[in-house]
Amino acid sequence: MAITVNLDVMMAKRKMSLNELSEKVDLTLANLSILKTGKAKAIRFSTLESICKVLDCQPGDLLEYTKE
């Protein structure tokens, strides 16, 4: 996949666990785990906005495009 999800990096920088993020963003652990591992095929802007708000970051901090 050409889009890399850096959710784990931002969580580590903010010293936040997946459980804590799940509670604050109001998403299931399963859905966050799929996003974190890069297996997600899509993400809603509302979800991305919630994650950015909780982690105090920009969408570009979470998503990265790399040429294959």
Residue 11 belongs to what domain range? 3-61
What CATH number does residue 13 fall under?
Answer: 1.10.260.40
From residue 16, how far is each of 24, 29, 42, 43, 58 by CA, in Å? 10, 13, 23, 20, 16
Structure tokens belonging to residue 40 = 């997600």
Percent of the chain past pLDDT 70, that is, above it, reads 99
**Mean pLDDT within 35-56:** 95
46 falls within a domain: yes
68 falls within a domain: no
Percent of the chain past pLDDT 90, that is, above it, reads 91
23 falls within a domain: yes
The answer, as to whether pTM is greater than 0.95, is: no
66 falls within a domain: no
Residue-level pLDDT at 1? 56
Domain count, the chain: 1
Residue 68 has pLDDT above 80, yes or no: no
Identity of the residue numbered 49:
E
26 falls within a domain: yes
* 18 alpha-carbon distance from chain centroid: 10
DSSP bridge partners of 65: 3
- Residue 65's pLDDT band (boundaries 50, 70, 90)? very high
7 falls within a domain: yes
